[in-house]
Structure 1
Amino acid sequence: MTETESEVMLAQESQRHTYLQALGVQSWLPRGALPYAAPSAPWVEAFTWPPTERFEQWGDAFDDTPAEAAATEQQAAPVTPAVNAPRGVSRALESLQGIFAPEGTSSQKVPALAQTPPVSSETTSPVSALDMSYQPERVAPLQNPLAERYPEPQFSLVLIKLGELLIVDSLPPQGRQSFSPAHIRFVSALARSLGVQGYEINPILHHWPAFVGSALNQGPDEALRSVRRQLGNLLKSQEIKRVLLLGEASAQWILEQPEPLDSLRGLRFSLRAGVAAVSSHSVTALLRIPELKAELWADLQPLLAART
């Protein structure tokens, strides 16, 4: 890298730090060699912050010429940016010197930088009118009937897509039990009883809470949003026509109903147009209590009717 290229890189880095400082962001750049890291460019060792007067001569190196500015305005879409970025290092520093001047120091006492004629534009506001009042977008509260019953929800769902059939099973949340080979064999036999076969079973596990940590919002609204996202991604396939919900957690969080499983079993619900859903006992319960299979078969009748 030549000396001129190094100075250009220093000026560009200074401009980037100016923008970041204006936004209240403090950035860091390694000044020494790090173990097992790739070597830094030669200009890194010479970089200093805050900028010194050696950048003034390069202040206008990044200013757009009038011809370039006109060409850019003709090619760009007519969109007015929320924050108008300053043109060049010199004008960026000039607009910010009043902000970063030491306390009790008038901005007029700061050495004047190279003056650049302002660019007149009806849609471009002055550089000094930087909008520093950004507020993060608030997430709208949900109409969540499960929030009162489950203020700290814990559940584990298993989603299995088999052609036009989607099976969502509930696992015991304690210890995050895995979907065992016995579970897979039972689901395969259950799918055949519904007239679906020839598909490979690839279970998708959906645990909640997703992470461990009190600093993260993992309440009922976030839990419902996560289930909606997972279900929405699967229902993007227009192939799915029937949904079987096994276990209380599956029925409640997919149907968004706070009632216990016994109140939801065997009823036909519509997740969306052309997609029927029924609920019954979980695979874990069916494996432990074989007598429940008779109730499962009775609960499946609305899905069998939906197939014809």
Structure 2
Amino acid sequence: MQVATWLPRVALPFAAPSRPELLAPAPQVPLEDTPVPAAETAPQTTVADARPATSVRPRIEIPRPGSAPRAAVEAEPEAAAEPEAAPAKAEALPPPRFSLQLLRAGNCLLLVELPTGEPFQSRDPAYLLLKDLLRAAGLPDSPQILGEPVRWPLLARGNMDQGPDAARDFVQGFVGVRQEEQGDCACIWLIGLPAVRFAGEADATAFNRELQVEGLGAAWALPGLELLMDEPERKGELWQAMRRVMRRWKTTE
């Protein structure tokens, strides 16, 4: 029991007398002077604190065949919560505006843009230039007018489609019918951008070039009469192109 000194509370019979130094009272030491053991000054550590902190191990998801990753699966409810965007409606293109006149000169048909939108008059500068072109090509300089001008949009048709595709189908159909009626057509002159675009399915880069139009046959694309008057330098390239194309109507005469 680790007891160094034991004193009886009463005198024991036949016991040896106690030593005087053991009966002397122990000196009292003030509390402030009593040194505190180093072991007691150290902060007491509880059993819970003494246990080593266990680190939280991240949970690793092992992908299985045919299963989507967890992040992607968790993101699906958020994506589903967002309202579906309504499909954007394609904006309808405005109807093109042009006036075309169909004429015949010799064995050629001419689909000509009307600069003013009105039929040609005998003294119109554009008509005089057209006569010069026909004389240079070796064709009659007094072309025959075939029907009324084609004006687009066709406002008299009510709510029908007036877009570019409808304009192309209408112009090609109109020229095709007149071509069958006239017969013996060696080449169709497409004069002006609207004629080139809606009858020849080409653009301004096709000026002075030959085209092969499905359903209409051989065609020749020319700049508009008004453009030739505003930019006379275009006439040189036009004359050179005419020499190459002239063989189409010269050999069939």
What pairs with 1:103-252 in structure 2 (closer than 5 Å)?
Answer: 151-172=94-115, 176-180=117-121, 181-197=124-140, 199-202=142-145, 204-211=148-155, 215-236=159-180, 237-252=182-197
Going from structure 1 to structure 2, the CA distance change for 1:302 and 1:182 (only over 3 Å counts) comes to: same
Alpha carbons of 1:297 and 1:149: their partners in 2 closer, same or farther (altered >3 Å)? farther
The answer to whether residue 212 in structure 2 is matched with residue 270 in structure 1 is yes
Q: How far is the alpha carbon of 1:226 from its aligned partner? A: 1.5
Q: Report SS of the residue matched to 1:184.
A: helix
| Greater Cα radius of gyration, structure 1 or 2 | 2
SS in 2 for 1:176: coil
Query: Is the partner of 2:138 in helix, strand or coil?
Result: coil
AA matched with 1:267:
R
Matching residue's letter, 1:169: V
Asked if 1:293 corresponds to 2:235, the answer is: yes
Per chain length, whose mean CA-contact separation is higher, i.e. which structure has more relative contact order (CA < 8 Å, sep 6+)? 2
- Distance in 2 between the 1:225 and 1:152 partners? 13
CA distance in 2, matches of 1:296, 1:164: 20
Is the contact between residue 152 and residue 167 of structure 2 (CA under 8 Å) also seen in structure 1? yes
Is contact 1:165–1:242 with CA below 8 Å preserved after alignment? yes
TM-fit CA distance, 1:290: 2.5
**Change beyond 3 A, Cα 1:249–1:177:** same
TM (norm. structure 2) is 0.53
Residues 301, 198 of structure 1: alpha-carbon distance in 2 compared, 3 angstrom cutoff: closer
1:35-50 alignment runs, 5 A limit = none
Residue 302 (structure 1) shift: 3.4
Q: Is 1:282 matched with 2:227?
A: no
Q: CA deviation digits over 1:104-156, x for unaligned, max 9?
A: xxxxxxxxxxxxxxxxxxxxxxxxxxxxxxxxxxxxxxxxxxxx996522222
Change (3 A) 1:289 1:224: same
Q: Which runs of 5+ in 1 are unaligned?
A: 1-147
Q: Is the 8 A contact 2:100 2:113 kept in 1?
A: yes
Q: Which amino acid aligns with 1:192?
A: R
Report if aligned partners of 2:100, 2:111 keep a CA contact under 8 Å in 1: yes
Q: TM-score, normalised by structure 1?
A: 0.44
- Tell me the amino acid that sits aligned with residue 219 of structure 1: G
- Deviations along 1:198-253, one digit per CA (max 9) or x if unpaired, are 65442641110021687333222321221022111221122211111111111111
Percentage identity across paired residues of the two chains: 24
- Contact 1:183–1:283 under 8 Å retained in 2: yes
Report the Cα distance in structure 2 between the residues aligned to 1:198 and 1:170, rounded to whole angstroms.
17
User: What letter is aligned with 1:227?
Assistant: V
Match of 1:33 in 2: none
* Partners of 1:218 and 1:273 in 2: CA distance: 22
- DSSP-derived class of the 1:256 partner: coil
